[in-house]
Structure 1
């Protein structure tokens, strides 16, 4: 009889692999830390009074310095997009204008989309009747307020949640401009397809995927992919993807529908069907939420400031514009609609800013909130909602303030013009 020798598993191989991996991660972290040890980590409030750089991780720094931001973010800057942008993929298998890390591809997409997004197209070229569409949707919101929420006695009516209604308005506006018709949030006075509720529930995961980009690869694996939104979904973000897909299909092929809306402009300027579908979804998500945030925050600070309300009312009565523009600019300053890091990579050869070395491959993020609270730019009353600061400033100071708050070349919001048009509407 033959005896079978007992097999004893050798745990040394996997154990050695684990130890080696942990050691590599440890030394990598130590090396990254050592490269940036000359940049201190400081409390969030420190960015208000100056200080160009604040360290927030082994290989990460942030800045609120307008000069450094212009240096990093201007069109011909050698700073490249980092993997932070990878987390902006809504489809884990393909990039969009927000998520692509290739600057050349990003520029190509933006140039093709520009006609559907820039303010000079509101005259009727590219996208038709944008201002009229904004007016129409705003009138629908006012009608809803008059017929459902207002009462003769001024009491007893249902509560009017402007925060939620602002989202209804901006979603109807962006879909009306995007592919020709509003989704009907205002008309139904409801969260159509549970879109807003779904986005609010998913937002923590979206934010995590930006700072932990490897999560996108995990979620795109066969094990998790079916948990992600799909154009076949009946509700939520997936439903919006499905609507955009069907609208894009109508614009291609032998019987293609031609419309002078945002999607039509994308198609006319050379975007493929997949790109047109993806980019409209991007602008529905990004354009509606940021504009709604701007409306909410500006109205909140305005209605809680009796002096600002009185000044604005006086100007409206006199048919002026200066105070109204100042209110909008101050609202966008005191509560920026977008406060994302927009992390860039320091060029491989490294860089130096005001005598501080920045090693190649380090990651530098944008502290938007800090930039809007800098006392050396905005003054000692930086925490106060004071629209007059824009009216009192000298022309030179106003240019500095506009430059600090208006976005930089590589950060300009594609939907900025449409959002500003909604904020400027006198019906507010």
Structure 2
């Protein structure tokens, strides 16, 4: 009996040992193989074997700076994960984003599906399908088929100005400009997208606890971007009840419900997936344009959500950051106001907003907007593209097929060889030829700034709307109010996991001399 027990024990030991060796080989061989593919590209040591460096950077809330530090330390192409690099080289990025580029979107994008079973314009990996969908939406985003596009933005800017002037200013009460900026972008985009203003500014509140829940979920979304397999797990029936639903009364689910109901109303009881005929009296907003160009019911729901979420967050960050630099830089603000006061726009009545065409004629305003986007780029996600099957070589560095190449926003927009030795300074004059800027350098800077919005088939369709908002909002806020930052040493709470979460940006406002609200 003892001999049998001994044999059994020996057999079990052999089996356990074999399993242990198999598990080690199962992990070890692919890990070594992956490490060797990119061993010639420097980066943090752990990035050659795991995604822990990338995960720690994401959870730190300072991901944009972690990427920047990697490129500063290891070079303009730095390894940040076993199969991923980050680059601060604008020429390489233009090469990747070129019209006929063989690079493709990576699985990084899949985590941005609002419905895990349905793609949107951002998450479509198939180039042909992406091009077809983009073509159906171009006219709506351009504003050609949206009635009173500019007026819709104007009335929401006035709503923000009136909120400050009537609620906070008379009581000498501080307000969180971080929140107010996003209330504005959410209301303006809902107005443009489907003709319904959410009401964030009118209620002066976080409607449906949308911002609160999105901020709570953003880290989880960012982690799923680091580990794309999580998306497949979450998409399984097991987790269906944990996902936002259009039945929810609060949060992102409530916005999903509004989008669903709005799209359903356009079908007027029609059970088909695509409108056969758009009525002559149908609303002429972006949703109306999308449906007129053949978007299906499901596609329209996804794209309306994409407009609201992607557009409101990044534009709000651009508004907050540029407003901060203006409010804390008297020289720049003084020159901007001098430009405004030297034109016919200085004496406009309270309820009149500068036209986009007139704003574009103000060179210093254009320089301020560009400099704000440069020094604090609001979209810092790496949006990595896949190296084509043939591989690629850039500046002597070989990029093996299937490698993810991501974009380091902070690195691109702080390169001394592009922006000068004062790249860390907010100085709009760098954009002005009349102030001594080299025309060839300004052209190069413009081309580099365009990377913020993508190029070619990957260019952001919302770029035009965003610039219209930016061209108006700074004029209308700073011609009406003196805005004082309450805590200049720590002006806001700001976290970054690819997008910024910013709040506690406390300001006080006083009316400027000669300005009278109506």
Q: TM-score, normalised by structure 2?
A: 0.76
Deviation at residue 114 of structure 1 after TM alignment: 0.8
Q: Give the distance between the partners of 1:179 and 1:161, measured in 2 at CA.
A: 27
Pair 1:25 & 2:27 matched: yes
Q: Give the distance between the partners of 1:424 and 1:340, measured in 2 at CA.
A: 24
The equivalent residue for 1:3 is none
**Which stretch shifts more, 101-110 or 402-411?**
402-411
Pair 1:175 & 2:209 matched: no
Change (3 A) 1:160 1:100: same
Q: TM-score, normalised by structure 1?
A: 0.91
Pair 1:105 & 2:154 matched: no
Pair 1:330 & 2:371 matched: yes
Pair 1:71 & 2:95 matched: yes
Among 339, 354, 357, which residue is 2:398 paired with? 357
Pair 1:126 & 2:145 matched: yes
Pairwise mapping of residues 156-171 of structure 1 onto structure 2 (< 5 A)?
A: 156-171=171-186
Contact 2:71–2:86 (CA under 8 A) maintained in structure 1? no
Q: Give the distance between the partners of 2:309 and 2:149, measured in 1 at CA.
A: 18
Q: Give the distance between the partners of 1:46 and 1:388, measured in 2 at CA.
A: 29
Change (3 A) 1:214 1:12: farther
The equivalent residue for 2:77 is 53
Q: Give the distance between the partners of 2:12 and 2:241, measured in 1 at CA.
A: 37
Change (3 A) 1:221 1:396: same
**Which stretch shifts more, 286-295 or 249-258?**
249-258
The equivalent residue for 2:327 is 303
Q: Give the distance between the partners of 2:17 and 2:378, measured in 1 at CA.
A: 48
Q: Give the distance between the partners of 2:148 and 2:461, measured in 1 at CA.
A: 18
Pairwise mapping of residues 17-416 of structure 1 onto structure 2 (< 5 A)?
A: 20-41=22-43, 44-45=68-69, 47=71, 51-118=75-142, 121=143, 125-151=144-170, 156-252=171-267, 258-319=282-343, 321-391=362-432, 392-407=436-451, 408-409=454-455, 410-416=457-463
Q: Give the distance between the partners of 1:248 and 1:161, measured in 2 at CA.
A: 33
Q: Deviations over 1:350-402 (max 9, x none)?
A: 11112211111111111111101111101111111111111142222111111
* Alignment length (residue pairs): 413
Over aligned residues, Cα RMSD in angstroms? 2.3
Contact 1:168–1:185 (CA under 8 A) maintained in structure 2? yes
Q: Give the distance between the partners of 2:196 and 2:291, measured in 1 at CA.
A: 17
Runs of 4+ in 1 over 6 A off after TM superposition: 7-15, 254-257
Q: Give the distance between the partners of 2:427 and 2:73, measured in 1 at CA.
A: 19
Q: Give the distance between the partners of 2:133 and 2:17, measured in 1 at CA.
A: 48
Contact 1:47–1:374 (CA under 8 A) maintained in structure 2? no
Q: Give the distance between the partners of 1:214 and 1:198, measured in 2 at CA.
A: 23
Deviation at residue 252 of structure 1 after TM alignment: 2.0
Change (3 A) 1:217 1:22: farther
**Which stretch shifts more, 388-397 or 349-358?**
388-397
Among 407, 418, 427, which residue is 2:465 paired with? 418
Q: Give the distance between the partners of 1:322 and 1:351, measured in 2 at CA.
A: 40
**Which stretch shifts more, 49-58 or 365-374?**
49-58
Deviation at residue 277 of structure 1 after TM alignment: 0.7
Q: Give the distance between the partners of 2:394 and 2:147, measured in 1 at CA.
A: 45
Q: Give the distance between the partners of 1:346 and 1:60, measured in 2 at CA.
A: 10
Question: Match of 2:267, SS?
Answer: coil
Q: Give the distance between the partners of 2:209 and 2:224, measured in 1 at CA.
A: 22
